[in-house]
A = this chain, B = another copy of it.
Amino acid sequence: MGNDQLIPIGTLARRTGVAVSAIRFYESKGLLTSLRTGGNQRRFLRSDIRRVSFILVAQKLGLGLAEIEAELAQLPQGRTPTINDWQRISRSMRVAIDEKIKLLTRTRNQLDQCIGCGCLSLQKCQLYNKEDRMAARGAGPQLVLG
């Protein structure tokens, strides 16, 4: 009479395409919780597949694990996100992604001006702006090119 709602870590890994070690890591970070068998093996709820998929989508949208944990923690009783939760969260992601596109577009325009003048001037180049860089400290990479 094993509850078939309970799945071992390997199954969760295969169903989500995430490594077993990554799932243990997510659990250690508090993004997932599990029950244990008598033999100390993890058993996850089937709904954790959806929870992991949420983590993956949020990651793809650029959120860090800490931010994702914060989103998940906002949900009452730490439940798996419903459609409404997802819509609320994804709308705020949409705003963030829009800002990222704006930043990139602005940078591209500046780059175009630079290609025109070829200056690379510390004084005049808009791309090279000391104050900007100082202000951006700790913000991590501004973008990652493929």
Contact = CB atoms under 8 A, between A and B. Distances in A.
A94 B104 CA distance: 11
Contacts of A125: 53, 57
Question: Quick one: copies of this chain in the complex?
Answer: 2
A130 B97 contact: no
A66 to B, nearest CB: 13
A111 B54 CA distance: 13
A140 interface: yes
- Chain A interface mostly: helix
A119 to B, nearest CB: 8
Contact of A97 (B62, B63, B145): B145
Given A50-B122, A143-B143, 5 more contacts: A59-B141, A60-B142, A90-B111, A100-B146, A139-B146
Interface of A: 15-17, 49-50, 53-54, 56-57, 59-63, 81, 83-84, 86-87, 90-91, 93-94, 96-101, 103-105, 107-108, 111-112, 114-115, 118-120, 122, 125, 127-128, 130, 133-134, 139-146
